[in-house]
Structure 1
Amino acid sequence: MTARPAHSSPGWFRSLLSSAALARAYTLAVLGAVFASFAIERIAGLVTYVTIIVGLCVIGAGMLGTRRDEISLVRLVPTTLMVFLGWALASVFWSTDASDSLWSWVTTAALAFLAVVIGHVRDTLQTARAVGDVLRVLLGASLAVEVLAGVLLDMPFPFLGVQGRLAELGPVQGIFGTRNMLGFVAVLALITFLIEYRTQSVRPGVSIASVVLAGGLAALSDSPTVLVLAVGVGLAVAALALVRHTKPENRGALQLGLGAAVVIGLVAGYVARHPIIAWLGAGTDFSMRVDLWNMILDFVRFKPVQGWGWFGAWPPLEQPFGTINYFLDATHATGLNAFFDVLLQLGWVGLILFVALAATAFVRAWLAASERRSVIYAWTPLILIALIIDSMFESFTLVGIGWMMLVLCAVRAGMSRSWRERIDVPGADDGLPRGGAGA
Structure 2
Amino acid sequence: MAVHTKHPIAAPPAAPPREKTRHLMLRAWCVFVLFQAFAGVAWVNAFGDFIAGSIAAVSAIISAVLWVSIRPPLNWRRLPWFPLGYVAWALTSVFWSSWLSTTALTWTLLACTTLQGLMVASMLGWKELIRAMAAALKWVISLSLLFELAVSVFINGPVLPGFVIPTTKLDPIVYWSRNNLFDGGRIQGIFGNANLLASVALTAMIVFALLFAAHTTRRVPLALWFSAATYAFVRADSATAYLSAIAVAVVLTTSLLMRTARRPGSRTKYYAAFAGLGALGIAAVWVWRDAIFTALGRSSTLTGRETIWQAVLDRAVEHPVVGWGFATPWLDSDPAFDGWIIDHGQSVMQAHNMWIDVFLQLGAVGLFIMVGIYFSVIWRAWFFAVDRPRWDLVDSRPFSPLTLLPILLMSMLLVQGLAESGPLLLWGWLSVVMLGFKIKQAPLIGVGPTGQTLAMERGDGLATLAKTQHT
Q: TM-score, normalized by length of structure 2?
A: 0.81
From 22, 26, 30, give the equivalent of 1:27.
Answer: 30
1:18–1:63: 8 Å Cα contact kept in structure 2? no
1:299–1:320: 8 Å Cα contact kept in structure 2? no
Residue in 2 aligned with 1:296?
Answer: 312
Residue in 2 aligned with 1:3?
Answer: none
After TM superposition, give the deviation of residue 168 of structure 1 in Å.
1.1
After TM superposition, give the deviation of residue 378 of structure 1 in Å.
0.6
Return the alpha-carbon distance in structure 1 between the equivalents of residues 237 and 432 of structure 2: 24
Return the alpha-carbon distance in structure 2 between the equivalents of residues 314 and 438 of structure 1: 46
Return the alpha-carbon distance in structure 1 between the equivalents of residues 355 and 376 of structure 2: 16
**Partner AA of 1:246 in structure 2:** A
From 230, 241, 251, give the equivalent of 1:226.
Answer: 241
Q: Secondary structure at the match of 1:95?
A: coil
**Partner AA of 1:83 in structure 2:** G
Residue in 1 aligned with 2:83?
Answer: 81
After TM superposition, give the deviation of residue 287 of structure 1 in Å.
4.9
Q: Map 1:334-413 onto structure 2 (within 5 A).
A: 334-371=350-387, 372=389, 373-413=399-439
User: Greater CA deviation, 320-329 or 18-27?
Assistant: 320-329
Asked whether 1:212 is paired with 2:224, we answer no
Asked whether 1:101 is paired with 2:107, we answer no
Moved over 6 A (4+): none
Return the alpha-carbon distance in structure 2 between the equivalents of residues 436 and 218 of structure 1: 39
1:171–1:220: 8 Å Cα contact kept in structure 2? yes
2:102–2:330: 8 Å Cα contact kept in structure 1? no
Residue in 2 aligned with 1:136?
Answer: 138
After TM superposition, give the deviation of residue 273 of structure 1 in Å.
2.6
Q: Secondary structure at the match of 1:157?
A: coil
After TM superposition, give the deviation of residue 140 of structure 1 in Å.
1.1
**Partner AA of 1:92 in structure 2:** V
Q: Deviations over 1:162-194 (max 9, x none)?
A: 111111122101111200000011000000010
Q: Deviations over 1:281-335 (max 9, x none)?
A: 2116615001111111111111111111001011225465346415997521111
Residue in 2 aligned with 1:183?
Answer: 198
Any unmatched runs of 5+ in structure 1? 1-15, 419-426
Return the alpha-carbon distance in structure 2 between the equivalents of residues 246 and 69 of structure 1: 37
Q: Secondary structure at the match of 2:328?
A: coil
After TM superposition, give the deviation of residue 81 of structure 1 in Å.
0.8
Number of aligned positions between the proteins: 415
Residue in 2 aligned with 1:195?
Answer: 210
After TM superposition, give the deviation of residue 224 of structure 1 in Å.
1.6
Structure (1 or 2) with the larger CA radius of gyration: 2
**Partner AA of 2:127 in structure 1:** L
Residue in 1 aligned with 2:13?
Answer: none
RMSD across aligned positions (CA): 2.7
**Partner AA of 2:50 in structure 1:** V
Residue in 1 aligned with 2:125?
Answer: 123
Residue in 1 aligned with 2:257?
Answer: 242
Return the alpha-carbon distance in structure 2 between the equivalents of residues 23 and 221 of structure 1: 33
Change (3 A) 1:74 1:437: farther
Instruction: Please identify which structure carries the higher helix content.
Output: 1
After TM superposition, give the deviation of residue 130 of structure 1 in Å.
0.9
**Partner AA of 1:415 in structure 2:** Q
Return the alpha-carbon distance in structure 2 between the equivalents of residues 405 and 297 of structure 1: 27
**Partner AA of 1:291 in structure 2:** T
Return the alpha-carbon distance in structure 2 between the equivalents of residues 44 and 270 of structure 1: 42
Q: Secondary structure at the match of 2:178?
A: coil
Change (3 A) 1:229 1:433: farther
Q: Deviations over 1:180-223 (max 9, x none)?
A: 00001100000001011011122121111011100011111121
Return the alpha-carbon distance in structure 2 between the equivalents of residues 17 and 430 of structure 1: 16
After TM superposition, give the deviation of residue 154 of structure 1 in Å.
1.6
From 92, 95, 100, give the equivalent of 2:94.
Answer: 92
1:143–1:217: 8 Å Cα contact kept in structure 2? yes
Residue in 2 aligned with 1:312?
Answer: 328
Identity of aligned residues (%): 24
Q: Secondary structure at the match of 1:321?
A: coil
Return the alpha-carbon distance in structure 2 between the equivalents of residues 327 and 29 of structure 1: 34
Return the alpha-carbon distance in structure 2 between the equivalents of residues 268 and 248 of structure 1: 33
Change (3 A) 1:266 1:438: farther
From 48, 57, 62, give the equivalent of 1:59.
Answer: 62
From 115, 133, 142, give the equivalent of 1:113.
Answer: 115
Return the alpha-carbon distance in structure 1 between the equivalents of residues 86 and 193 of structure 2: 28
After TM superposition, give the deviation of residue 113 of structure 1 in Å.
0.5
1:122–1:433: 8 Å Cα contact kept in structure 2? no
User: Greater CA deviation, 339-348 or 157-166?
Assistant: 157-166
Q: Secondary structure at the match of 1:243?
A: helix
**Partner AA of 1:108 in structure 2:** L
After TM superposition, give the deviation of residue 241 of structure 1 in Å.
0.6
Return the alpha-carbon distance in structure 2 between the equivalents of residues 417 and 324 of structure 1: 45
2:37–2:427: 8 Å Cα contact kept in structure 1? yes
Residue in 2 aligned with 1:423?
Answer: none
Return the alpha-carbon distance in structure 2 between the equivalents of residues 120 and 434 of structure 1: 11
Return the alpha-carbon distance in structure 2 between the equivalents of residues 374 and 327 of structure 1: 45
Return the alpha-carbon distance in structure 2 between the equivalents of residues 300 and 44 of structure 1: 34
**Partner AA of 1:78 in structure 2:** P
